[in-house]
Amino acid sequence: MSRSTTTSAAAPRRARWTALVAGVAAALLLVTTGVTATERPAFAVTYPSWDDVLDARKNVSGAKAKADEIRALIQQLADASAAAQAEAQRLGTLFEEAQLAFDEASFQADELQRKSDEAAAKAEESRLRAGQFVAELSRAGGADLSASLFTNPDQAESLLSRLGYASKISEQAEGIYDAAMRDQQTAQSFADQAVVAKQKREELRIAAEAAFQQAQEAAAAAAAAVAAEEENKRRLEVQIQVLEEDLVITEAEYQEGERKRKEEEARRKAAEEARLREERRRAAEAAAAAEAAAAAEAAARAAQNAGSSSGGGGGGGGGGGAPAASGWAQPAYGWISSHYGYRIHPVYGTYRLHTGTDVAASCGQPIAAAAGGTVTYAGWNGTYGNFVMINHGNGLTTGYAHISNGGIRVDFGQSVSAGQTIALVGTTGASNGCHLHFEVRTNGNAIDPAPFMAARGVYLG
């Protein structure tokens, strides 16, 4: 959808934006002052040792008491993990709302600045036109009609005709002057509005950054809580078996079993990554073949229409399995289902800014880092669902939304390379089908990803 807006659409959008700004500001006040809906979960810091477990086995009552204690610890781990994930989801939603408010404000500020520039150019044109008109009158020589009537009474009729003509010229001059003044006032009005909009944008930028930091910390805490639960739960469950099922196992034997389990998990992960790379390579080859066939067909049609064999056309290219020469890679293979700009939201049915490009693809298909960088966010992000953000330096970031549950393949702070699998396509958040929402931001401002990527030799879709 075009980025231009109609008058009828602008009013409800301004109202919705104003309400959203107020809501975000209120919510962020709670966040930044440390008042949260749920307190950060406290993790258990002490666990029974293997000696404690083996000692408790010596009598039935001791074994039962120790097993109950361990079960309580397992429940505490589960509760802490759930609380951390709930808090991460809550703050992730606040971050997305704050980001949306900033995006709307940024778009409006840019639009007002554009209108201000256009109005200023028109005002300058009107001013020059008025000045030119005065100069032409001056060169024509403004004759004193009264003096002519005294000195040449016989020419009165002619002079009175000229007087009427002069009156018309005066009216025309006044019209030109009024138009110049109106244009100047319009330009000043847009300039004033642009200043206010930029101030509001800066306020919302600060709010969005604060929300991002809170969500970032919460996402990292949730990941740590889940890891702590998984790591400790296995050991605690084995200890219960030792107490209740007469399982004989030493701590050394348990640690050896864990070592082997982790080795097997690493092998499985490596095999999965290899499978995803192969899947991505095949998708790249299929896309390249389809593009080559389309280019050949277009060239054949052009040659047929021209009646000669000349006049073929180059093609787009677009990132095969390996990154382009620019160092950028295709984030996902598919077709573009929605472009950057204002649109009717497919889920909510409201007219709102779409800050990225949607690439329709099968759920589970690999998503790749568009360029090398550092993961600065990996977690829930409101209507974006599961979300990954990568910082590429120099104020440039890319975002990947609607990732499948369990489909995030990177962690906060991890370094990634262009083309590396970072997630799997899903439909989480406000989504009505499997796709990747891909966005590019410069200094926090969303820009159209399609031309940005095309300039780097990568064609989305």
Band the pLDDT of 158: cuts 50, 70, 90.
low
Residue 89 and residue 225 in one domain: yes
Residue 388: what pLDDT?
A: 97
Residue 173 and residue 61 in one domain: yes
For 62-66, 295-299, 393-397, 439-443, which range has the lowest pLDDT when averaged over its residues? 295-299
DSSP 247-281: ----HHHHHHHHHHHHHHHHHHHHHHHHHHHHHHH
323-339: average pLDDT = 90
- Whether residue 306 is contained in a domain is answered as no
Number of alpha carbons in the 13 Å side-chain half-sphere of residue 304: 6
410-436: average pLDDT = 94
- Whether residue 36 is contained in a domain is answered as no
Residue 376: what pLDDT?
A: 92
347-359: average pLDDT = 91
Query: What is the tens place of the pLDDT at every residue in 131-149?
Result: 777 677 666 654 444 444 4
User: What pTM did the predictor assign?
Assistant: 0.57
CATH number assigned to the domain comprising residue 181:
1.10.287
d(CA 249, CA 258) in angstroms, rounded, equals 13
Cβ burial of 309 (10 Å; 0-12, 13-18, 19+) is exposed
Contact 358, 435 (CB under 8 A): yes
Number of domains into which the chain is organized? 2
Does the structure show a pLDDT above 70 at 67? yes
Residue 243 and residue 336 in one domain: no
Band the pLDDT of 294: cuts 50, 70, 90.
low
Residue 379, SS3? strand
Helix (H) or strand (E) holding 344: strand 341-344
Residue 109: what pLDDT?
A: 83
Residue 390: what pLDDT?
A: 97
Does the structure show a pLDDT above 80 at 316? no
Residue 217 and residue 123 in one domain: yes
Band the pLDDT of 421: cuts 50, 70, 90.
very high
Residue 322: what pLDDT?
A: 62
d(CA 452, CA 445) in angstroms, rounded, equals 13
Residue 205: what pLDDT?
A: 80
Terminal alpha carbon distance of the chain: 17
Contact 423, 367 (CB under 8 A): yes
Residue 433 and residue 331 in one domain: yes
Q: Which single residue is written with the structure tokens 């044109």?
A: 125
CATH number assigned to the domain comprising residue 346:
2.70.70.10
* End-of-domain residue from the set 199, 220, 249: 249
Residue 98: what pLDDT?
A: 86
Which CA distances in Å does 251 have to 258, 347, 437?
Answer: 10, 53, 47
Residue 97 and residue 210 in one domain: yes
DSSP 101-149: HHHHHHHHHHHHHHHHHHHHHHHHHHHHHHHHHHHHHHHH----HHHHH
Contact 180, 129 (CB under 8 A): yes
* End-of-domain residue from the set 196, 228, 249: 249
* Structural domain boundaries enclosing 102: 41-141+168-249
204-221: average pLDDT = 84
Band the pLDDT of 14: cuts 50, 70, 90.
very low
- Whether residue 346 is contained in a domain is answered as yes
Residue 131: what pLDDT?
A: 75
Contact 342, 354 (CB under 8 A): yes
Which CA distances in Å does 48 have to 44, 55, 88, 251?
Answer: 11, 11, 29, 12
Does the structure show a pLDDT above 50 at 449? yes
235-249, 252-266, 330-344: range with highest mean pLDDT? 330-344
Residue 12: what pLDDT?
A: 44
319-337: average pLDDT = 80
Residue 132 and residue 233 in one domain: yes
Band the pLDDT of 209: cuts 50, 70, 90.
confident
Does the structure show a pLDDT above 60 at 447? yes
Q: Which single residue is written with the structure tokens 């299929």?
A: 286
